Amino acid sequence: MTSPAVIYQGKAIQVELLDSGIAQLTLNLPQAAVNVFNQLMLNELQAAVTAVATSQAKALMCVSGKSSFVVGADISEFTQLFKLPEKELLAWCEQTNAVFNALEDLPVPSISVIDGMALGGGLELCLATDLRLGSEKAVLGFPEVKLGICPGFGGTVRATRLLGLETACDWIISGRQLAADQALSSGALDAVVAADILQESATAMLDECLAGSIDYLALRQRKKDPLAREEATEPQIANVKSAAFKAGRVHYPAPVIAVDAICAALACGRAEALQHEHKAFVQLAHTPVAGNLVQLFLSEQYLKRTAKKVASQAHPVARAAVIGAGIMGGGIAYQSALTGTPILMKDIAQQGLDLGMDEAEKHSARLLKKGQISAAERQKILDSIAPTLEYTDFSSADVVVEAVIENVNVKNKVLAEVEQTLKPTAVLTSNTSTISISLLARALQQPQNFCGMHFFNPVALMPLVEVIRGDKSSEQTIATTVAYAQKMGKTPIVVNDCPGFLVNRILFPYFGAFAMLIRDGADFRDVDRVMEAFGWPMGPAYLLDVVGIDTAAHAMKVMAEGFPDRMRYEFHTVIDFLHEQGSYGQKNGRGFYRYQTDENGRLQKMLDDSIISNIQTIQTAQRQIHDREIVERLMVAMCLETVRCLEDGIIDTAIEADMGLVLGLGFPRFRGGALRYIDSMGAEEFCTLADRYAELGPLYQVTAGLRAMAAAQEKFYP
């Protein structure tokens, strides 16, 4: 047998003419684990399609040289691409789509063979071929809305005609990934077969096209024609528009704009329909939301790469231990067990251990109910947590997390005690929220083996772990802690030590700014409403109730000691006031709001006039504060502390600062983080805004570094 003739050879795409007469187009991006559509691949696709069109091939089969098909576009190229002016970006859309159209219009039948993921642009390539064959591992989806954009390679047009209006809109506005069976039943795949017979099955399907038993030209035409009126009825259109509005809410325009473009193109043929898609794509690509979401994607990749590099020096973690089986300790034990690291859980009280185990039982029961784990897996998770009142067996632990109450003396005693029981290579960490790691290290014989490992509540849901480098922590200690956090499925960010570290150091000035607003006459209900409309998952008053007003009042004292110049307040804060009155928030049913458990066991938040009038007694003014002023005062305080963290070297990059806020505090993703927020406004305008509030005190003092940035018209992000 002779080797197949190569009819096109690029760097990322090769086309061979097989003995069967079928042209096989293989996508295989060099030096990459997965295929992504970058400009190189797009250019080569054009040349490859031309080569097929002018060859003797009787059919085309598109395959991947990787373990997945194509996972999407190359997002690292988006930042520059989206900066193109409207006309140029529209021209880019036209030019790129011409390639997909040429593929669709080939004089021969075509099929995509999908083993693994075909997402975004990858799926759009598959939609341009006449047929799609998947293995059981095929996964299809349009993730574009997650980046604030819509499909741009004809996906909105072809999917609507192939899957029907409602299914196509559902795929596009949800960004969901669909398994092979779902893709088959919705018509996105024509067949699903075992991976080892993909090639022969694809050949057979192409032969059927050639023999006329599959009318590929009719299938092709259907993707290019307008939809018939009965295929997109008024009620269906109303449904998809309302679903898009719900999916995007106020802050995310992509679902609404994508669905509007789809609906506007229903009665259009391919060329005109694509114009609607191009316009929507360009409009979305130019929104700040898309810019911010694309940056967040790139930032997530950056954090993964950085953590992987740091973790390369780690000691293996086969067994862990946690001290304190409370809210945090119980959560840490469960997460460790769930992700495959058995853990000892120590407390001083049996009651604490019982609570910790209850948490693990509750969480694992939920996964079992959802069908995400089997009964045997659940049992294995529970068996991996060893509750204990003693330090017996601690010598087997590779990492220990201290999670006892937030009290320096108690922590010092516990840390010194546990250190005696550990093997020399073990890493000891503290989950303290605010206390300086270098300070805690003073109680230890081996401070180099100690660092912070700060989880967020609830541990199972919150993705961030701050790994805090004390002044004596060794790189090996940091590496092992980062590796353990990753193994637990979390995103670690290494931060240098200071009271509150990164996230709480920034959160507490925000709470300080909130307390000043209340002092000056703001109604906390207005503050919550305004900040939730700004995009926060909850306003500051509600957040304080969730965190615990007692916890916050205590942490505020620690922060005041750490940063007396700006975090010690010379007035009676509403946080101290409520704390002194025994209002602790959700934990005792009374804080800024009142809480009651409903019949489903869920906490209901209610307003209580007596709480409102009580708070009024400490307000020094009853001034109506404008919504805009509320946002500005809170955001300026938060942003300036973020700038100080970066300038003080608490983190190395703007990316880490912003990702800490997004992952640790729920900073609105569409705004991209505090430094990104300053960038969006421009440093100069931000400084002018902050100066307007200068009289409120040192929290509002602009740093010299930021002023210099403003003068030089610099940004935090390129």
In this structure, are residues 437 and 469 in contact, taking their beta carbons and an 8 Å threshold?
yes
| Residue 328 contacts ligand NAD per CB under 6 A | yes
Q: In the block, which residue shows the tokens 């075992």?
A: 194
Q: Using CB under 6 A, which of 109, 116, 122, 352 touches ligand NAD? A: 352
84 versus 408: smaller Cβ distance to ligand NAD: 408
Structure token digits, residue 541 = 């008053």
406 versus 629: smaller Cβ distance to ligand NAD: 406
455 versus 693: smaller Cβ distance to ligand NAD: 455
The helix (run of H) or strand (run of E) holding residue 22 is strand 22-27
CB of 497 to ligand NAD, least distance (A): 15
In this structure, are residues 125 and 62 in contact, taking their beta carbons and an 8 Å threshold?
yes
| Residue 336 contacts ligand NAD per CB under 6 A | no
Q: Which stretch binds ligand NAD (CB under 6 A): 184-192, 217-225, 344-352, 364-372?
A: 344-352
| Residue 630 contacts ligand NAD per CB under 6 A | no
CB of 512 to ligand NAD, least distance (A): 19
167 versus 432: smaller Cβ distance to ligand NAD: 432
350 versus 620: smaller Cβ distance to ligand NAD: 350
In this structure, are residues 111 and 60 in contact, taking their beta carbons and an 8 Å threshold?
yes
In this structure, are residues 497 and 505 in contact, taking their beta carbons and an 8 Å threshold?
no
CB of 603 to ligand NAD, least distance (A): 16
Q: Where are the alpha helices (DSSP H) in 265-324?
A: 270-285, 288-311
Q: Which stretch binds ligand NAD (CB under 6 A): 77-85, 213-221, 346-354, 706-714?
A: 346-354
Is 276 among the catalytic positions? no
Task: Name the packing angle between helices 503-519 and 549-562 (round to 10°).
Answer: 110
Residue 391 gets which letter from DSSP? -
CB of 575 to ligand NAD, least distance (A): 15
Residue with the CB atom nearest ligand NAD in the bound state = 326
Residue 458 preceded by cis peptide, ω within 30: yes
CB of 503 to ligand NAD, least distance (A): 9
In this structure, are residues 128 and 236 in contact, taking their beta carbons and an 8 Å threshold?
no
269 versus 582: smaller Cβ distance to ligand NAD: 582
433 versus 496: smaller Cβ distance to ligand NAD: 433
CB of 360 to ligand NAD, least distance (A): 14
Q: In the block, which residue shows the tokens 């064959």?
A: 133
Structure token digits, residue 182 = 């779902």
Calculate the alpha carbon distances from 280 to 90, 158, 231, 274, 569 in Å: 10, 15, 22, 10, 50
Strand partners, 100: none
CB of 473 to ligand NAD, least distance (A): 18
From 276, 363, 454, 579, active-site residue? 454
| Residue 325 contacts ligand NAD per CB under 6 A | yes
Calculate the alpha carbon distances from 165 to 16, 265, 577 in Å: 37, 11, 56
CA distance 261 to 233: 16
Q: Using CB under 6 A, which of 72, 329, 470, 500 touches ligand NAD? A: 329
In this structure, are residues 344 and 393 in contact, taking their beta carbons and an 8 Å threshold?
yes
CA distance 90 to 59: 32
124 versus 347: smaller Cβ distance to ligand NAD: 347
Sign of the Cα torsion 674, 678, 680, 686 reads positive
178 versus 567: smaller Cβ distance to ligand NAD: 567
Q: Where are the alpha helices (DSSP H) in 175-287?
A: 180-185, 198-211, 216-224, 234-248, 254-264, 270-285
Site for ligand NAD in 426-485 (CB under 6 A): 431-433, 455-457
112 by DSSP, 3-state: which? strand
CB of 415 to ligand NAD, least distance (A): 10
In this structure, are residues 461 and 379 in contact, taking their beta carbons and an 8 Å threshold?
no
Q: Using CB under 6 A, which of 73, 323, 502, 674 touches ligand NAD? A: 323
| Residue 326 contacts ligand NAD per CB under 6 A | yes
| Residue 706 contacts ligand NAD per CB under 6 A | no
Site for ligand NAD in 354-413 (CB under 6 A): 403-406, 410
| Residue 295 contacts ligand NAD per CB under 6 A | no
Which residue type occupies 633? Answer: R
CB of 554 to ligand NAD, least distance (A): 8
What is the binding site for ligand NAD (CB under 6 A)?
A: 323-329, 346-349, 352, 403-406, 410, 414, 431-433, 455-457
Which residues are designated catalytic? 454
